[in-house]
C-alpha cells in the first residue's frame, strides 16, 4: 500500500468501515501553508558541505502555493542558496498544544530569485502578511526568492501521513473554512458540547462522556471523545459541502435536529 493511502488516525490498523470524506493531502497541505506565517528553512551549508542549515523563515504565499521569501545577500541561508538552490521548508500547525499530534508539511524544492514580471505581486503578497517589512524591502541587499516545490510531505497527526506530488499540491486550494475554523471550533466547543456528544453517538456510533471538535473543513469535522475505554477520535461528515461559517452553522443545526429525531423516532 502506498504511503498516501495511510490516512487513518490512531496507532491501530485502518478500519474496514467506509472512509468518511476528507480533503486531500494536497488541500490540507495548501491550507496549512495558507494559515502559517513562519517556517523552518533548511539549506545546504557552504561552510560544512552536506550538512543542512536551519533558519527561521517568514514567508508569503502565491496563488500556486509557492512560498515567497524576502532575504538578504548577507544572510547565511541566502549565500547557501546561491551556491545550491536545493532546500526544504517545514511549516507546522499554529497554536497546537501537541506538537507530535499536530499537522505539519515539508516542501522540498529549489529556491531562486522571483522573476522580474512576478516581483510586484510577490511584493504585494509579502507586505500583506508582514507590513513591517516595508522598512527594509527596498534595501539593496534584499530580494524576493521563491521555493518551487519538487515534492511535498504531509503529516496530519499520528498515523496520517503521505507524499503529495508537486503538481497535485499546486492544483490544490486552501479549505474555504481555513480562516474561520478556529472561531467555529471555539464556539461549538463552548456552547454545543452536548450536541457533539449526540452526533458522536448517532453518526459516529460512539458513546462518550465528553466531546470536543478538534478540526473542521468543508466536508466535515473531527471530534476527540472521552469514553469509558479512554480517549477516541472520530470524523463526522457534513450532510453537504459547506463554504462559509453561516453554512456550517446551518448544516450542524440540521444534523443535530435529525439526530434528535432519530433518537426518539
Q: How confident is the model at residue 20 (pLDDT cuts 50, 70, 90)?
A: confident
Ranges 2-6, 114-118, 153-157, 214-218: which has the least confidence: 2-6
On whether both 93 and 218 belong to a single domain, the answer is no
107 and 234 fall within a common domain: no
What secondary structure does DSSP assign to 184-203, as a single string? HHHHHHHH-HHHHHHHHHHT
**Same domain for 196 and 152:** no
Q: How confident is the model at residue 196 (pLDDT cuts 50, 70, 90)?
A: very high
Please give the residue range of the domain that contains residue 47: 3-171
Res. 209 pLDDT band, cuts 50 70 90: very high
* Whether the predicted pLDDT of 262 surpasses 80: no
Is residue 110 domain-shared with residue 215, that is, in the same domain? no
Residue 256 belongs to domain with CATH number = 3.20.180.10
Q: How far apart are CA 109 and CA 55, in angstroms?
A: 16
Q: What is the pLDDT of residue 10?
A: 36
> Which three cell numbers, joined as nine digits, stand for 38?
513562519
Do 45 and 142 belong to one domain? yes
Return the CATH number at 33: 2.30.110.10
Pair (167, 204) in one structural domain:
no
Asked if residue 257 and residue 208 are part of one domain, the reply reads: yes
- Mean pLDDT check: name the lowest of 91-100, 211-220, 230-239: 91-100
Same domain? For 126 and 206 the reply is no
Q: What is the dihedral of CA 201, 205, 210, 212, to 10 degrees?
A: -100
> Do both 124 and 247 map to the same domain?
no
Mean pLDDT value across the chain:
90
Same domain, 103 and 222: no
Please report whether residue 176 resides in a domain. no
Domain count, the chain: 2
Amino acid at each position: 500500500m502506498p504511503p498516501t493511502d495511510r490516512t487513518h488516525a490512531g496507532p491501530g490498523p485502518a478500519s474496514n468501515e467506509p472512509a468518511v470524506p476528507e480533503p486531500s493531502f494536497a488541500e490540507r497541505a495548501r491550507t496549512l501553508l495558507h494559515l502559517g506565517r513562519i517556517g523552518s528553512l533548511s539549506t545546504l551549508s557552504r561552510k560544512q558541505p552536506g550538512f543542512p542549515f536551519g533558519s527561521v523563515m517568514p514567508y508569503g504565499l502565491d496563488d500556486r502555493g509557492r512560498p515567497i521569501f524576502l532575504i538578504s545577500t548577507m544572510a547565511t541561508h541566502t549565500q547557501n542558496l546561491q551556491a545550491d538552490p536545493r532546500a526544504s521548508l517545514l511549516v507546522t500547525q499554529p497554536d497546537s498544544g501537541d506538537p507530535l499530534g499536530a499537522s505539519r508539511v515539508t516542501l522540498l524544492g529549489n529556491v531562486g530569485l522571483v522573476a522580474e514580471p512576478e516581483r510586484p505581486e510577490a511584493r504585494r503578497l509579502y507586505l500583506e502578511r508582514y507590513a513591517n517589512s516595508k522598512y527594509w524591502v527596498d534595501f539593496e541587499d534584499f530580494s524576493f526568492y521563491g521555493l518551487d516545490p519538487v515534492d511535498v510531505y504531509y503529516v496530519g497527526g499520528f498515523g496520517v501521513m503521505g507524499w503529495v506530488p508537486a503538481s497535485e499540491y499546486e492544483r490544490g486550494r486552501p479549505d474555504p473554512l481555513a480562516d474561520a475554523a478556529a472561531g467555529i471550533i471555539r464556539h461549538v466547543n463552548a456552547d454545543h458540547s452536548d450536541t457533539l456528544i449526540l452526533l458522536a453517538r448517532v453518526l459516529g456510533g460512539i458513546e462518550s462522556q465528553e466531546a470536543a471538535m478538534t478540526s473542521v473543513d468543508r466536508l466535515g469535522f473531527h471530534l476527540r471523545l472521552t469514553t469509558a475505554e479512554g480517549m477516541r477520535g472520530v470524523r463526522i461528515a457534513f450532510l453537504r459541502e459547506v463554504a462559509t461559517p453561516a453554512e456550517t452553522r446551518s448544516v450542524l443545526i440540521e444534523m443535530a435536529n435529525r439526530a434528535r429525531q432519530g433518537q426518539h423516532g
